[in-house]
Amino acid sequence: MQNNKVKTGLCTALNLLGIFLLIVFGNSAILIFGKSALEFATFIIYLFIGIGLMLLFFALSDIVYNLRSIRYILKSSTDKTES
């Protein structure tokens, strides 16, 4: 039970870190955004970096949360290949 709480807390922390990075990169993109095409391209790049990092941390939190089932799947698949 305690281990599950730790995993849930770690997942929440990773999700919050992902959202924080999206906000930071989004604000940087808004501050850089101007009238020229180069600044617009920079805005889009920063926005995609922020969204990508947020999705990466969401995926990491899912991996951390499901680590036990991933180990079980890997173990069961290696057991099938041995027999």
Backbone CA torsion sign across 43, 47, 48, 53: positive
Per-residue pLDDT band for 81 (boundaries 50, 70, 90) equals low
pLDDT score for 82 = 58
4 part of a folded domain: no
- For 57, the domain range is 9-78
Residue 3 placed within a domain = no
Percentage of the chain surpassing pLDDT 90? 0
Question: Average of pLDDT values for 62-72?
Answer: 73
pLDDT band at 1 (very low <50, low <70, confident <90, very high): very low
Q: Which whole number is the average pLDDT over 16-30?
A: 71
Task: Please check whether residue 53 lies inside any domain of the structure.
Answer: yes
Chain Cα centroid distance, residue 57: 2
**Token output for 77:** 């698949």
Within-domain flag for 63: yes
Distance of CA 75 to the CA centre of its chain: 26
How many domains are contained in the chain? 1
- How far is it, in rounded angstroms, from Cα 14 to Cα 80? 34
